[in-house]
Amino acid sequence: METNLEMQQGTSMPRIGDNAPDFEAVTTKGKIKFSDFAKNKWVVMFSHPADFTPVCTTELSGFATRKSEFNALNTELLGLSIDSIHSHLAWVQNVRENTGVYFDFPIIADIDMKVAKLYGMLQPNESETAAVRAVFFIDPSKKIRLIMYYPLNIGRNMNEILRVLEAMQISDEHKVSMPLDWKKGDKVIVGPPKTLDELDARLADDSLEKVDFYLAKKHL
């Protein structure tokens, strides 16, 4: 439930495990209703402070040049800033003309700040008119699985965004956890035993790398 302060400021703060708030919006790819968007896919929704700004240009160029990697992970990209659709289109064309990079994914024109407020992308102590660099990882059931927040002056790390996206998908598929600095191909952590029988089975299992009975790793 929102606090009184959040309601007064018009900012909500979705949490991990929440259903992603639904909305309708105009984007560079046409109008969308989020609950109908990217059916049966993951969504990486990210905000940027403003069009025609240097850090944002590097970031959206990063998303664009690695879009095929998101496609391979069954993931749709969805950008947002508090700019008009005309500004978005002009910026996309400007970057394409100057660098050859094409932002071929929808970018929400959130000029009324509706979506930014709904997702807590506006943080008044940072800026009251520009969205921070938020990233929401939303699974095919439209549940928020991971949230990142960056300040206006620090660009995101695309390798980390792709790493955690893939980690969550593999974790879901195999019911395992990922250790520090995990990357694809590394060993994963299997769940700890919950009964004495499972403990004995764990101790007898020579296929696992056992730091101790409660911390065991394996290759998938």
- What distance lies between CA 213 and its chain's CA centroid? 33
DSSP 138: E
Signed CA dihedral, 48, 88, 34, 68: sign only: negative
Beta carbons of 150 and 157 less than 8 angstroms apart: no
Question: Which tokens sit at 126?
Answer: 């940072």
Q: From its phi and psi, is residue 175 left (phi > 0), alpha (psi between -120 and 50) or beta?
A: left
Q: Which of 38, 44, 45, 56 is catalytic?
A: 56
C-alpha Rg value of the chain to the nearest Å: 20
Beta carbons of 182 and 167 less than 8 angstroms apart: yes
For residue 27, indicate whether it is catalytic: no
Catalytic residue IDs: 56
